[in-house]
Amino acid sequence: MRNSVFDFALEVDRQISTLTREQFYLRTGRAKRLLEELYPLSRFALRLKYPGNDPEVEAFEDDGPLDGVVHWGGVPASQLKVEVTYVHSYQKALRDELLFSTGSTPGTGPIYRDKKTGNIVATSAVVPTAEEIAQLAAAIVERFRKKRAKPYPRGTALLIAFDDPTFWGSDLWGQLIASIKAQGGLEGGFEEVHIFNCGSNELQAF
């Protein structure tokens, strides 16, 4: 799929709107690609649009070495290759499944699937913000290192996405960046690295 950044984002939104509740929460069918790859790519591309500049975004939607490219016309033409990766833990998947099946789920606290019954067991517990941020930072660094270990074309940008509607604002982002740096940072392998929160539509360059 290739289109102007605005039309690309509109088409992604349209396709997301057609997902069933089951597809949305359980990431079945086309939902996983839409929510974890095309949506972050569409919002990243929108940030590259400014008056007098009309880029197009292309998504390959395959299992190739890149997820998309942002194209700029003009003389000379230019492009930015983009690889998207998504932070989605097993615990988050369980919370989504529980939310789908019961209509509610604790936002934090222990959660697991009972091996005998197959039921999801979740207990609500207060988790300090610093601990939550450290866990998110660790997951981001882990995704980065896995991607860095693979060969990508020169000049590729890495977009690391996660989804947390409760995470927003400069204070939390500052703490997250500091925690990522303390855990080794996101250096090497890519032309640039960006972190995107699908839950708040906030983008941060690292």
pLDDT by residue (tens digit) across 90-146? 788 788 888 888 888 887 778 878 888 888 888 887 778 999 999 999 999 999 999
Interhelix angle 170-182/129-148, rounded to 10 degrees, is: 60
d(CA 102, CA 147): 35
What pairing do the DSSP bridges indicate for beta strands 120-122 and 111-113?
antiparallel
The pTM score is 0.89
Q: How confident is the model at residue 85 (pLDDT cuts 50, 70, 90)?
A: very high
